[in-house]
């Protein structure tokens, strides 16, 4: 549920608002560029070929390297205006015929368990730059992921760091920012005085929600931006 404060808006509405400036805002921070490249390298070490679901793909900033490595890509972005930016970038800058852009009716993962929009199972799911922090129900999310990924497939998630050290750093930063009357963009993304609510899922919550279908293979802190990378692998047996 979105808080009642006037400056909070639903998450899709927030990303519709920010869509045209999103790439500029993200790419002006060298740490974000470094992290995206780091995640790319970790991904490519594990996944050599096949089909990828770019979940919450935004404006398509991961599409260039996914295309370069010859993946078939199902691009899932519920914000219509972010999706338009991704399509525009693909059309103008990429020479790739392996991207399938899911339309709005198929982007809601809540329906994937009963109405699977994918004609084939994915070898990997990429959920980059805090996508899961926009979603409340981890149990249903991992159930849906389990239905659309093949046994042995990987999920790569970057989200707010809720390891012990990450949580301590977050609390200290929040204390300082409150003391100085400022806001923290990491906990409440802010654009033109509008915010969306953020869910700080614990590592325990992710592990518990995923455990029936996936095993966590790695947790890597990305402390430059208060993030962590979680790598999961689909159990070999279907559940």
- Asked if residue 20 is part of any domain, the answer here is yes
pLDDT digits (tens, 9 = 90+) for 168-209: 776 777 655 667 766 544 455 777 778 888 999 999 999 999
Q: Is residue 171 part of a domain?
A: no
* CA 79 vs CA 58, 103, 107, 168, 233: distances in Å: 8, 10, 9, 32, 28
Residue 6 lies in a domain: no
Domain count across the chain:
1
Which residue range(s) make up the domain with 93?
A: 11-163+202-234
**Residue the block writes with tokens 């033109």:** 192
d(C-alpha 11, C-alpha 118), whole Å: 24
What CATH number does the domain containing 15 carry?
A: 3.40.50.150
239 residues of the chain, pLDDT tens digit each: 444 456 889 999 999 999 998 888 777 678 888 999 999 999 999 999 999 999 999 999 999 999 999 999 999 999 999 999 999 999 999 989 999 999 988 999 999 989 999 999 999 999 999 999 999 999 999 999 999 999 999 999 999 999 878 777 767 776 556 677 665 444 557 777 788 889 999 999 999 999 999 999 999 999 778 899 999 999 986 55
- The mean pLDDT value of the chain amounts to 89
CB 47 within 8 A of CB 229: no
Which tokens go with 231?
């790598």
For residue 17, tell me if it sits in a domain.
Answer: yes
In a domain, 64, yes or no: yes
- 31 within domain boundaries: yes
């Amino acid at each position: 549920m979105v808080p009642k404060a006037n400056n909070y808006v639903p998450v899709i509405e927030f990303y519709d608002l920010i869509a045209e400036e999103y790439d500029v805002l993200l790419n002006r921070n060298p740490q974000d560029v470094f992290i995206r490249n780091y995640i790319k390298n970790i991904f490519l070490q594990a996944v050599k070929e096949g089909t990828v679901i770019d979940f919450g793909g935004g404006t398509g900033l991961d599409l260039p390297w996914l295309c370069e490595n010859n993946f078939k890509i199902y691009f899932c972005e519920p914000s219509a205006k972010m999706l338009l930016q991704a399509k525009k970038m693909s059309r103008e800058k990429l020479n790739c015929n392996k991207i399938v852009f899911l339309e709005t009716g198929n982007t809601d993962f809540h329906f994937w368990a009963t109405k699977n929009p994918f004609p084939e199972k994915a070898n990997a799911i990429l959920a980059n730059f805090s996508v899961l922090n926009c979603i409340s129900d981890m149990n249903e999310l991992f159930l849906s992921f389990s239905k659309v990924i093949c046994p042995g497939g990987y999920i790569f998630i970057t989200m707010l760091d809720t390891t012990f050290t990450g949580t301590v750093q977050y609390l200290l930063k929040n204390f300082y920012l409150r003391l100085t009357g400022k806001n923290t963009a990491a906990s409440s993304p802010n654009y033109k005085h509008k915010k969306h609510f953020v869910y700080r899922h614990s590592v325990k919550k992710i592990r518990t929600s995923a455990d029936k279908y996936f095993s966590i293979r790695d947790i890597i802190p990305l402390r430059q931006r208060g993030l962590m990378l979680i790598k999961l692998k689909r159990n070999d047996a279907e559940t």
